[in-house]
Amino acid sequence: MPLSLLLGLAMALLTVDLHAIAASRRKGCSHRVYGVSLTICIILLGTALAHLLGDRTPATLTLPLGLPWLGAHFRLDALSAFFLIVVNLGGAVASLFALGYGQHEQAPERVLPFYPAFLAGMNLVLLADDAFTFLFAWEFMSLSSWALVMAHHREPANARAGYLYLVMACFGTLALLLAFGLLAGPDGGYDFAAIRAAQVTPGAAALALALALAGAGSKAGLVPLHVWLPLAHPAAPSHVSALMSGVMTKVAVYGFIRIAFDLLGEPAWWWGGLVLALGGITAVLGVLYALMQHDLKRLLAYHTVENIGIIFIGLGLALAFQTNHMYANAALALTAALFHILNHSLFKSLLFLGTGAVLTATGERDMERLGGLIHPMPWTALAFLIGAAAISALPPLNGFVSEWLTFQAILASPELPQWPLKFLVPAVGALLALSAALAATCFVKAFGITFLGRPRSPAAAGARETDRYSLVALFVLAALCLLAGILPGLVVDGLSPVVSMLNGSTRLTAQSSQPWLTLVPVVDVKSTYNGLLVLLFMAISGTVAALLIHRFASAAARRGPAWDCGFPEASPATQYTAGSFAQPIRRVFGSVVFQARERVFMPPPGDARPARLEVELPDPVWDRGYAPIAAAVVALSTRFNAFQYLTIRRYLSLVFGALVVLLLGMVLWR
């Protein structure tokens, strides 16, 4: 029975954990922990894949754990199987990468014990079938990932990130707890089967949806609950960053899908609108933040925010179509969202692992101090380039397919009867297009500044290619990105059981029967896409162009010193920088969205100080949303601080006074 196998394997991860706690300082422990994690993840991946492509009958299991009157319910259905694939694929590749990367870890005893626990927590969230087990696993996942964020806790920035993460994780779990409480109703039917069967009032359902959106959204990084994510994800070791950004955010999305599509009943029409609007704002703001970032890992973390926005756009569209019983279109939107979930886990893991390789080689995350890495690290550069092209939604890679499918769903929106949605959806489409274009800009910057040009620091100049394990991990992901891009029909077919489970058993038409592996989401007169043909065309035209250039142009070219436009012996600091690349965008969008200000300080004649250009980039979400809350909490606790230093008589008087007031209230109220 696959479910007990999955649970057993998750438990096995926890056993690895015990070993890691006992032996983390010993030599070879790192290899053992990551090796066993890799093996377990591969078996979990295989089991989930077999379930999704095989018989697909949901399996359930109840263990006498947890709350005594409830027990621990577990269930394996198409949705959890799909997410198990995403999680364990990411887990396996990150473990493989860590076989090499983990050797450079200075404090393995702070990473090894929590790594398998983190993987186990994510797997258990996906298998949970009652609210208690779900929340328990969710918190387990949060806490173990918090411990990983705090692995290098001596840096003050990491400590702050960890604190913020903890606060936001508590908030998210509280929201989910309340959502499940609303869904379970006064009788406390906390297992998901009872919640599915129960009918909640429309008001309670709407509140539960909003709470689920807040709870899962805070973990996934939905604006305005994203603030912890760009701080916490980069603070962890790189393979953990890849897991957190590529995989854990997907577990959060799973939580939202499970509640919104599976547990809640019929959606109201404005739910889809709410999710759509949040998704659109998240996508654009995420990518704008990313453009302003010159820290490579933080840039990637902001891109996670953007991609979560894209996923939520798909989910919002699916909700909107489901309200109006347009299940064919809903199937399209759901497929797009699920496809993008898979894609984002692939290329975001790839990019974070690539950054990890750069970090090992140079010790730098700041792009302004990198550059020219394509020469010492050609293979890492190639893999990173594939990931960058995929996340920028360039054909023939996978990012294009899922964003194209999302656009197909958006194009179906005029069929929606509600006027607000008719207006909202095209606007969100425009936001999506904008974010896709800005993402491409951003990755031109990320790849160009990091890998091209000349080294900007001695650390970048002395870089070496990364180890074999890491390279294999990078190229596994790069190959998967390419495969999912040129054979999208197979992926769409693989997703169809999940879609039909969430969508009243309506799914897209089977794609494998289409000629030439073409992707035909609706009908072929409307729109089709063939990744294979695009790849062929690009390969042929690229080869021809290269041949022509070499034949006619290069032969006549001379090799001269680089950057020598009348300025010999130029310093690497004269190169185009990340800041200069982002400046036009900052002027166009930043001055409106972030109120970015530039100040030029020009010393008066005779003054020896250098001229300075200062850029001020406030974060409106933090300044308007979080800073007032933090200030209020501090002010309130300062007020109440006095209560810590009262005399015994004062405390007694307070108790006495409270008692008398309550009794008086009771008398008067009756």
Partner 1 sequence: MHGLAFDIAHFLAGGMVVASFLLLYQDRLYALINVFALHSLVLALAVGWQAAIQGAHHLYITAGIALVFKAIVIPVALHRIVRRLGIHRTLEAVGGVGRDMLAGTGLVALAILVMLPVTATADALAREDLAFALAVVLLGLLLMVTRRNAVSLVIGFMSLENGLVLAAAGARGMPLAVEISVAFSVLIALIVIGIFLFRIRERFDSVDMQAMDTFREERRR
Residues that bind partner 1 (CB under 8 A): 645, 647-649, 652-653, 655-656, 659-660, 663-664, 666-667, 670
CB of 650 to partner 1, least distance (A): 9
Cβ nearer to partner 1, comparing 539 with 659? 659
CB of 637 to partner 1, least distance (A): 17
CB of 656 to partner 1, least distance (A): 5
Hunting for tokens 């007031």 — which residue is that?
661
User: How many Cβ atoms are within 10 Å of 64's Cβ, its own excluded?
Assistant: 8
| Total length of the chain | 670
Measured in degrees and rounded to the nearest 5, phi and psi for residue 311 equal -60, -40
Contacts of 545 (CB under 8 A, 6+ apart): none
User: How many Cβ atoms are within 10 Å of 5's Cβ, its own excluded?
Assistant: 13
Cβ nearer to partner 1, comparing 556 with 667? 667
CA distance linking residue 500 with residue 507, whole number of Å:
5
Kindly state the helix (H) or strand (E) to which residue 614 belongs, with its residue range: strand 612-616
CA distance linking residue 284 with residue 302, whole number of Å:
10
Question: In this structure, what token pair is assigned to residue 514?
Answer: 């289409």
Check the CA dihedral 343-344-350-354 and report its sign.
positive
CA distance linking residue 122 with residue 243, whole number of Å:
10
CB of 622 to partner 1, least distance (A): 35
**DSSP codes joined into one string, 577-598:** -HHHHHHHHIIIIIHHHT--EE
CB of 639 to partner 1, least distance (A): 17
CB of 638 to partner 1, least distance (A): 15
What would the 3-class secondary structure string for 31-71 be?
HHHHHHHHHHHHHHHHHHHHHHHCCCCCEEEEECCCCCCCC
- In terms of Cβ atoms closer than 10 Å to its own Cβ (0-12, 13-18, 19+), residue 652 is exposed
Chain-centre distance for alpha carbon 419: 32
CA distance linking residue 623 with residue 633, whole number of Å:
15
**DSSP codes joined into one string, 87-112:** HHHHHHHHHHHHHHHGGG-S-HHHHT
CB of 658 to partner 1, least distance (A): 11
**DSSP codes joined into one string, 129-142:** -BHHHHHHHHHHHH
CB of 635 to partner 1, least distance (A): 21
CA-wise closest residue to 391 among 267, 230, 245: 245
**DSSP codes joined into one string, 211-244:** HHHHHHHHHHT-TTS-TTHHHHHHHS-HHHHHHI
- 529 and 401 in contact (C-beta within 8 Å)? yes
Cβ nearer to partner 1, comparing 22 with 652? 652
Measured in degrees and rounded to the nearest 5, phi and psi for residue 63 equal -110, 145
Helix-strand-coil percent breakdown of the chain, rounded to 5? 75, 5, 25
What is the end-to-end Cα distance of the chain in Å, rounded?
60
DSSP H helical segments within 363-467, as ranges?
378-391, 398-411, 419-451, 458-461
CB of 659 to partner 1, least distance (A): 7
Chain-centre distance for alpha carbon 249: 4
Cβ nearer to partner 1, comparing 634 with 661? 661
Cβ nearer to partner 1, comparing 27 with 649? 649
Angle at CA 478, nearest 5°, toward 472 and 482?
A: 140
Hunting for tokens 């297992």 — which residue is that?
191
Kindly state the helix (H) or strand (E) to which residue 548 belongs, with its residue range: helix 531-548
CB of 657 to partner 1, least distance (A): 9
Cβ nearer to partner 1, comparing 540 with 663? 663
Cβ nearer to partner 1, comparing 513 with 641? 641
- 44 and 95 in contact (C-beta within 8 Å)? no
Angle at CA 574, nearest 5°, toward 571 and 580?
A: 155
Q: How would you classify residue 221: left for phi > 0, otherwise alpha for psi between -120 and 50, otherwise beta?
A: left
CA distance linking residue 350 with residue 482, whole number of Å:
12
Chain-centre distance for alpha carbon 509: 29
